[in-house]
């Protein structure tokens, strides 16, 4: 039998359940953040298969009821009536309590819904002022590509961005090559060549990253997966950040460099058409 104390007060068994979850104790979980527009989860199939692959990598049992249609229906049922645009987050964690070795691979889950203001999905590309975050680096490997509950690196990077009056910061790998930002995947456009870091280098397996790589050839862009040096940013024509909520955001300022956003707008339009039709 165990007891849990919070701020000097002993909690009842029911009150202490939240503090006993492995997601809280060890970060033993993952999550999917999705954009809902007009009651539809954008790119649901990509989110679903990423979730299933991530759970298998973490050796979590996938509930029998979680077919694509059944899980989507559960998520949609949680939306507020009449909502237009929402941020939907599905958090999944392994059941069990103390100890690194789990007593079970079964899972629990929670669904978080937040209504957001929008001009439509996705809205015109946001503009960002960024810089490089060098205090901590991201290691390569399969686990680095997951949307894991262990988010210390992203939290510290986002905190640094706020302290420096930046909109976002760029994360580096152990080899000091650019990977992504604290909020999503990063793309560097030079001429017609669009480059993003490969998953093998430690880049997040982003749903919108997947869509951009699929749509780029149709916009006359040549896709390249390579981890670039930060010096490549200074020579770029455009720099994009992608995530499930904003689609494409475009970097306007990096140090003394200023960038255009012509192709970013074209990609945003392609994402809109692909997500809604």
Q: What is the pLDDT of residues 155-205, one digit of tens each?
A: 999 999 999 999 999 999 999 999 999 999 999 999 999 999 999 999 999
Contact 232, 196 (CB under 8 A): no
* Structure confidence at residue 96 (pLDDT): 86
Mean pLDDT of the chain: 94
Dihedrals phi, psi of 17, to nearest 5 degrees: -60, -40
Across the range 133-148, mean pLDDT stands at 96
- Residue 137 contacts by C-beta under 8 Å, 6 or more apart in sequence? 171, 172, 173, 174, 176
Residue labelled with tokens 């074209």: 266
Which domains occur in the chain, in start order?
5-115 (3.30.470.10), 126-276 (3.20.10.10)
**In percent, how much of the chain has pLDDT > 90?**
85
Half-sphere exposure of 272 (CA within 13 A, CB side): 15
Residue labelled with tokens 């990096």: 254
pLDDT band at 15 (very low <50, low <70, confident <90, very high): confident
Checking if the pLDDT of 40 tops 60, the result is yes
Token readout for 118 is: 């929008």
Across the range 231-258, mean pLDDT stands at 96
pLDDT band at 106 (very low <50, low <70, confident <90, very high): very high
Sign of CA dihedral 119, 125, 131, 136: positive
Contact 67, 51 (CB under 8 A): no
* Structure confidence at residue 131 (pLDDT): 97
Q: Which residue has the higher pLDDT, 91 or 2?
A: 91
Residue-wise pLDDT tens digits, 60-86:
999 999 999 999 999 999 998 877 789
* Structure confidence at residue 275 (pLDDT): 87
* Integer CA distances (angstroms), 2 to 20, 21, 106, 133, in order: 10, 13, 21, 41
Checking if the pLDDT of 2 tops 80, the result is no
**In percent, how much of the chain has pLDDT > 70?**
98
Q: What is the pTM of this model?
A: 0.94
Checking if the pLDDT of 146 tops 90, the result is yes
* Structure confidence at residue 277 (pLDDT): 60
């Amino acid at each position: 039998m165990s007891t849990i104390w919070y701020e000097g007060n002993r909690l009842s068994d029911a009150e202490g359940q939240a503090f006993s979850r492995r997601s809280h104790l060890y970060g033993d979980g993952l999550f999917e953040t999705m954009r809902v527009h007009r009651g539809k989860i954008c790119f649901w199939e990509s989110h679903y298969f990423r979730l299933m692959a991530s759970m298998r990598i973490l050796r979590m049992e996938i509930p029998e009821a979680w077919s694509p249609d059944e899980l989507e229906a559960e998520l949609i049922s949680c939306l507020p009536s009449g909502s237009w645009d929402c941020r939907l987050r599905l958090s999944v964690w392994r059941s069990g309590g103390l100890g690194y070795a789990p007593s079970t691979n079964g899972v629990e889950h929670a669904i978080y819904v937040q209504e957001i203001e929008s001009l439509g999905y996705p809205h015109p590309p946001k503009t960002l002022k960024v810089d490089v975050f060098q205090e901590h680096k991201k290691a390569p490997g399969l686990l680095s590509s997951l949307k894991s509950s262990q988010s210390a690196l992203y939290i510290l990077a986002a905190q640094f961005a706020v302290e420096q009056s930046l909109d976002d910061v760029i994360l580096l790998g152990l080899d000091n090559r650019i990977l992504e930002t604290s909020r999503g995947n990063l793309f560097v456009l030079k001429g017609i060549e669009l480059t993003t870091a490969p998953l093998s280098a430690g880049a997040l397996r982003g749903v919108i990253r997947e869509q951009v790589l699929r749509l780029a050839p149709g916009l006359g862009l040549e896709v390249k997966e390579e981890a670039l040096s930060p010096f490549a940013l200074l020579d770029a024509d455009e720099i994009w950040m992608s995530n499930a909520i904003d689609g494409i955001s475009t970097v306007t300022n990096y140090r003394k460099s200023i960038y255009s956003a012509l192709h970013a707008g074209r990609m945003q339009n392609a994402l809109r058409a692909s997500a809604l039709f």
